[in-house]
Amino acid sequence: MDDVLQTFLINTLSGDTAKIGWMDPDTSSNKLRKIKPLSEIYESEIVFYAFTNNLPFQTEPCPHMDEGIRTEIREFLNLLESNHNGIKNNMYNSVLKISKFAKNANHKEKRNCSVCGNECSGNVCSVCKMITRLTSE
């Protein structure tokens, strides 16, 4: 949940409204899609669960973590949550609603990938583009 909220605020503050339309769960018929089974769970709860159940997880912070605005947004959201319990959850639900409206407003006609046949917005889907890049190196 925390990452979705941070990304939403970053996109909103930078004026990148096109990206806001793709933050809700993927409901397309595409066989290859990004799933986020833990997106409705607080980051702190995920870390607590992993720690108490001895599950391996990344403990080293990203070396570029403090270079962008994301850290400030994370701290701001955590402060809001500590002062107003449940505000992140309320905001997350609002983000999903806003995302659906933005997606409909910026709707692009979907096509099928010329390589794999999955639904995409261009001639070749991002998965096939990535596979091509990785296999050509």
User: pLDDT tens across 6-36, in order?
Assistant: 989 998 998 887 777 767 666 555 566 667 7
What pLDDT, on a 0 to 100 scale, did the predictor assign at position 100?
A: 81
One-letter amino acid of 20: I
- As given in the structure block, the two tokens for residue 44 are 């702190």
pTM value is: 0.68
**Which residues of the chain are under the pLDDT cut of 50?**
none
Dist CA 113 CA 131 (whole Å) = 13
DSSP state of 42: -
How crowded is the C-beta side of 91, counted as CA atoms within 13 Å?
A: 20
